[in-house]
Structure 1
């Protein structure tokens, strides 16, 4: 994610699994979390603003149950 930009990432459960929660991983600590929520019954979505002085990565994590 580019410095000063907003980004959105998604994580989806495998077919046949159900989303029971979610979270995110960030490579730098200086982000503003704007949203972390279920987008659909099997997809987690995370939106952040990169306020760090360097580019960074973010990943959404879907917690799924069979």
Structure 2
């Protein structure tokens, strides 16, 4: 099952629901989704967005 997260409460809630409704043998792929046309990109470098995704995915290992 593919689940995209962006760190928002809504996306993390969707991940929790996916875990609850999926059969036990389900394999998950969690991806960090960031819009490269993000309005704040003018003052928020893409490296910062990338680091946020890396930290978020790392901090969620084993936790849904």
TM-score normalized by the length of structure 2: 0.27
Considering Cα pairs closer than 8 Å and 6+ residues apart, tell me whether 1 or 2 has the greater RCO.
Answer: 1
Q: Which has the higher helix share?
A: 2
For the pair shown, which has the larger CA radius of gyration, 1 or 2? 2
TM-score normalized by the length of structure 1: 0.27
Q: Which has the higher strand share?
A: 1
